[in-house]
Amino acid sequence: MTSLAPNDEAEELLRPSADLLYRVIEYNAAGMHIFDRDGRFVLSNAAVEQMYGVPRSAFTGLRYDDPRFVRFTLSGEPLAAVDHPFSQVQRSGRPVYDVQYVVTPPQGARRVISVNAAPLFDDVGEFSGAVASITDITRYIEHQSHLQTLAVENARLYEETVAALRQRDALMHSITHDLKNPLLSILAHAQLLERRLARGGPCEPGQLSEGLAAIEQAARRLQGMVTELLDVARLEAGQPLELQRAPMDLVALVQGCIAELATAGGRHRFVVEAPLPGLVGVWDAARLERVLSNLLSNAVRYSPAGGEIAVQLEQQQQGSAAWAVVRVKDHGMGIPAAELPRIAERFYRASNVSTSIPGTGLGLASARLLVEAHGGTLTIASTEGEGTTVTVRLPLDPPPSGGS
């Protein structure tokens, strides 16, 4: 007989005591099964009942490869019968360690287990069965897969960060580009005036004031760009804007913005639909002008084939609150549906925009933030290839809290 004990003293202790052996098995913290030579469960301990939530009698008499057991490898494929620890031990006559798989016994709970198993031999050294010790590693595996999910999530965050940095690079590039035009205009006008003065020739007051006006206009444009950048940076950092609220007419503002765009020349037809003579609210005129001029110039820019751009203004009553609603509707290239949720993010530009269309990806984000600073909302509906409608809703009255 293969000796169970490492020395005589222990053997002495064990031999008379089937009871001791029984207790060691029964009260072992690990689940234990004893199989006969055919692979039938002949004995299971208390921990097995605990582990699977079924009485151990559920196992007794079943063969290890009974089809009522559902077993999978950790990679999700069915566990082949030959890979079962009993089968391995039976074939090799040697113990196996840490065989991991997922098992659902008949009516029992699904568990991820690690199995150590060893062969048993009878008095003449013939294979007579196997003993298996089972550790429930369900929690450990779940924890590992949680870690794996975390790792995947980390990788995704990293990718997003890299993408955001790239967008920022593109924005920096684009902003420098945009700033250089008014700068060029200022330089050219200033140097032209200098040359005239240096020549000592006649410099008519008209020419002088014209040049100075052009310089001022370009400088204002620069100022507007810088203010917009600062506003967006401040709002995105969660700092409130100090709005300069005063009663103002939204219809007049829209018409002013359109007049400015129309002087730039182009193939777009603007149609303003305003059922009211005016739409007066208490807003920050300079900031709303930026909102509207961003939305209108987007509509122009992203419908390069020209066409009609409709601006609809109306007043809506919602309970006791009155809202001004402005819709800017173009028939341009639209925004791919999958990208709509991201489109009002700072610096985000849709993938169907050719790189030749200038833009920083700042306009829409800035418009949304400025509208929200007024307690309003900006929403976008778009169909790629058909056009985009941006809807701005602004409360007619400032919030009663007296805040911004």
Residues 212-251 contacting other proteins, CB under 8 A: 214, 217-218, 221
| Identity of the residue, 94 or 177, whose beta carbon is nearer to other proteins in the bound complex | 177
Q: Is residue 63 near other proteins by the rule CB under 8 A?
A: no
Cβ within 8 Å of residue 114, ≥6 positions away: 98, 99, 100, 134, 135, 137
From 183, 229, 280, 310, residue interacting with other proteins (rule: CB under 8 A): 183
- Select the span of 39-47, 113-121, 126-134, 170-178 touching other proteins (CB under 8 A): 170-178
- Select the span of 80-88, 160-168, 184-192, 233-241 touching other proteins (CB under 8 A): 184-192
* Residue keyed to tokens 């089972």: 134
- Select the span of 50-58, 66-74, 175-183, 275-283 touching other proteins (CB under 8 A): 175-183
Residues 73-112 contacting other proteins, CB under 8 A: none
Compute the distance between CA of residue 286 and CA of residue 222 in angstroms, rounded to an integer. Answer: 15
Which candidate, 291, 304, 390, places its Cα nearest to that of 353? Answer: 304
Shortest distance, CB of residue 182 to other proteins, whole angstroms? 6
Q: Is residue 401 near other proteins by the rule CB under 8 A?
A: no
Give the angle subtended at the CA of 169 by the CAs of 163 and 175, to the nearest 5°.
Answer: 135
- Select the span of 140-148, 189-197, 240-248, 379-387 touching other proteins (CB under 8 A): 189-197
Shortest distance, CB of residue 349 to other proteins, whole angstroms? 13
From 177, 208, 341, 397, residue interacting with other proteins (rule: CB under 8 A): 177
Shortest distance, CB of residue 364 to other proteins, whole angstroms? 16
CA within 13 Å, CB half, 333: 16
Shortest distance, CB of residue 269 to other proteins, whole angstroms? 17
CA distances, 397 to each of 24, 323, 352 (Å)? 80, 8, 39
Q: Is residue 206 near other proteins by the rule CB under 8 A?
A: no
Residues 354-383 vs other proteins: string with x where CB under 8 A? --xxx-------------------------
**DSSP conformation letters of 45-86:** -HHHHHHHSS-GGGTTT-BTT-TTSEEE-TTSSBPPGGGSHH
Residue 96, helix vs strand vs coil: strand
Q: Which amino acid is at 247?
A: P
Q: Is residue 342 near other proteins by the rule CB under 8 A?
A: no
Judged by CB under 8 A, the number of residues near other proteins is 30
Shortest distance, CB of residue 229 to other proteins, whole angstroms? 16
| Identity of the residue, 267 or 342, whose beta carbon is nearer to other proteins in the bound complex | 267
CB 378, CB 328: distance < 8 Å = no
| Identity of the residue, 10 or 357, whose beta carbon is nearer to other proteins in the bound complex | 357
CB 57, CB 44: distance < 8 Å = no
Q: Is residue 301 near other proteins by the rule CB under 8 A?
A: yes
Q: Is residue 185 near other proteins by the rule CB under 8 A?
A: yes
Burial 181-211 (b: 16+ CB within 10 A, else e): ebeebbeebeeebeebeeeeeeeeeeeeeeb
Q: Provide the H-helix boundaries in 200-245.
A: 205-236
Shortest distance, CB of residue 171 to other proteins, whole angstroms? 14
Residues 245, 248, 252, 256, Cα dihedral to 10°? -30
Shortest distance, CB of residue 223 to other proteins, whole angstroms? 14
Cβ within 8 Å of residue 213, ≥6 positions away: none
From 246, 264, 277, 401, residue interacting with other proteins (rule: CB under 8 A): 264
Structural tokens at position 57: 């009698």
Please report, as ranges, the residues that interact with other proteins according to CB under 8 A: 173, 176-177, 180-185, 187-189, 191-192, 195-196, 211, 214, 217-218, 221, 263-266, 301, 304, 356-358
